[in-house]
Chain A
Amino acid sequence: MAEFRMPSLGADMEAGTLVEWLVKPGDEVKRGDIIAVVETQKGAIEVETFQIGRIEKFLVDLNTKVPVGTPIAIIQTEGEQAAVPAEPSPSSELPVAPAPEPRPPPLLAVPPVPAVVRAPSPAHGIMPRPIASPAARQLAAQHNVDLSSLTGSGPNGAILAADVERRLGPTAPSPERKRATGLDLAAMRTAIAAAMARSKREIPHYYLEHQIDVSHTEQWLAERNATLPPDSRLLMGALALKAVALAIRRFPAFNGFYRDNRFESSTAVHVGVAISIRGGGLAAPALRDTDQLSLDELMHGMRDLVQRTRAGRIRSSEISDSTVTVSSLGERGVEALYGVIYPPQVAIVGFGKVVTRPWVVDGAIGPRSVITITLAADHRVSDGHAGALFLAEIGKLLQEPEKL
């Protein structure tokens, strides 16, 4: 039997609100299946399971906010007998919820809800303990509501959080109940602030920049796109992602996570794509196995990622898996950007907009298309020398688009 817990979707996440189950008890699940939608500061995120088995039961009500690490469902893994009830109880059937087990303490400070109160039940053994969901118990405990005074509206009369809310009346602070999808830009700003402040506090950044002539790359792109319908055209940004993904395989000191005072490089390359959100937001979900994708696959993946991110539908693995980030200004904006590393990653590569500049080619000055590539990297893990070689390799690859 496995507990499915509220996942940590990034270093800055402390709690999530369960807004939708996409499976029901009894459903078979396999690794990678999306089983729930969780509302976080980054928006609604589709959460995947890494277990193979059958959903046994849910432990948390919809629209309940719980700290990272809280068990939210039980998955019966393969080959197991039906799980025994979590706690023997005077009332033999507890179809909705077992008595809450003590939850692990929140992994991070500032628990948004008090750690679960295991309500001491003086009546235990004298009268049957009311059937109630964990969320209902929690809410009742917070507001000193006697559960036995409530009538439950759930299965077998189980008391749900909504029943407690009704008792509390319209003035009660309801648990966060936003729309199931979409983005809360204010919350996103808070999440960005937390992650970036931590980055600047903990990571000794160093910065490098490199200007390269991408006239040939632009020409190659224009010739390729000329014969293709719009939905098959490539953007320079896709070439940039691929160049970084290929280069980083030779420079593992920029690909991975710095955690618990040590760096662990990743063999997989999942490039986080910085995506700006209209109205002022930013997310950098991962394009998984970026180095393995053809340019067409990569472009398709990027379009899909941008679309879903802006619609507020990204998957849990896309949020937590990025091993390095790329931020690309596209054709507008300025010539160079200096990124702030997204912890626990150790590097961010920036691409400015392509500009026309006087450039020396074969001893003569002429107008060329020039792009500025920057690197911000973690000095605990690498030095400027390695960074320079990495950046030069990215530039070299970007100048040979036919090999990407």
Chain B
Amino acid sequence: MTGIDVRKTVLEEINNVAPEVDLATVDPAADLREAIDIDSMDFLNLVTALHRRTSVEIPETDYPKLVTISGMIAYLEAKLG
């Protein structure tokens, strides 16, 4: 393991994009774009931040795997593991 707390990183970066949302109330399986109203620019900023913090490449073709909180965590853990 790399020592990165993936869950914590993901939640922190989502919080940066949508600071007013209480993530505890968001269904981890819900599509974030609808659940917390993030647009293409927010999503790109989120991916940029996750890439910066984890060094995982995250190509655009993998975006569909990253639309939920649980998907994002699973994706990054698999890449880091």
Contacts and interface: CB of A to CB of B under 8 A. Distances in A.
Contacts of A332: 33-34, 39-40
A233 B60 contact: yes
Interface string B29-50: 0000110010111001101100
A320 interface: no
B24 to A, nearest CB: 18
Place the interface of chain B in its size category.
10 to 19
A276 B39 contact: yes
B51 A278 contact: no
B41 A278 contact: no
Place the interface of chain A in its size category.
20 to 34
Contact of A229 (B18, B33, B45, B51): B51
Contact of B44 (A226, A233, A278): A233
Contacts of B61: 222, 226
A302 B52 CA distance: 20
Nearest to B49: A230
B41 A225 contact: no
B2 to A, nearest CB: 19
A351 to B, nearest CB: 11
A231 B60 CA distance: 12
A152 B60 CA distance: 63
Given A231-B48, A330-B40, A330-B41, A225 B33 contact: no
A230 B41 contact: no
Most buried by A among B33, B41, B57, B58: B41
B59 interface: yes
Given A278-B18, A278-B20, A230 B47 contact: yes
B41 A306 contact: yes
Contact of B40 (A226, A230, A279, A331): A331
Contacts of A233: 44, 60
Contacts of A236: 40
Most buried by A among B48, B51, B52, B61: B48
Interface string A298-314: 00001100110000000
Contacts of B34: 332
A230 B57 CA distance: 8
A237 interface: yes
B40 A235 contact: yes
Most buried by A among B34, B47, B59: B59
A229 B33 CA distance: 22
A235 B51 contact: no
A231 B45 CA distance: 8
A330 B44 contact: no
Interface string A223-244: 0011001110101110000000
Interface of A: 222, 225-226, 229-231, 233, 235-237, 276, 278-279, 302-303, 306-307, 330-332
15 contacts: A226-B59, A230-B44, A231-B51, A231-B52, A233-B44, A233-B60, A235-B40, A236-B40, A302-B41, A303-B41, A303-B44, A330-B39, A330-B41, A332-B33, A332-B40
A-B pairs with lowest CB-CB distance, top 7: A230-B48, A330-B40, A230-B47, A330-B39, A231-B48, A230-B51, A331-B40
Given A278-B18, A330-B39, A331-B40, 13 more contacts: A225-B60, A226-B60, A229-B48, A229-B51, A230-B48, A230-B51, A231-B48, A237-B41, A279-B20, A302-B41, A303-B41, A332-B39, A332-B40
